[in-house]
Amino acid sequence: MKEFPQEKYIDLENNPYLLGRISINHVKDDFNAEVDIIHKESHKIFKHVDIVYGQQSLEEALITGVQRLRKFLEDVEKKNQADPTKDHLH
């Protein structure tokens, strides 16, 4: 039996100080994933991105969490290209 929560970390290409983190929890028959951007050294949350509820497996929760993180980062990148004078990550 696996222990929960499980955390998976994703390196962010353009920022050596931050990581993506997907925290997966098992609640009754479902799996939930919390999606955050954290500081690499302290692991404190820099930005809470989303929570994914009601996935049928650990793998589905992980995949959906990664997709949400990717969409968030793509949206931030588009906003930065449209107006580079603002910090859109906050």
- CA torsion, ordered 56, 70, 7, 16, to nearest 10 deg: 170
Q: What integer pLDDT is reported at residue 90 of this predicted model?
A: 63
d(CA 80, CA 32): 30
Model confidence over 5-59: pLDDT tens digits?
999 999 998 889 999 999 999 999 999 999 999 999 999 999 999 999 999 999 9
d(CA 89, CA 52): 20
**Beta strand extents in 1-90 (DSSP E only):** 6-11, 18-27, 30-39, 45-55
Domain locations in the chain?
6-82
Nearest to 69 by CA among 41, 42, 89, 40: 89
| pTM of the predicted protein model | 0.88
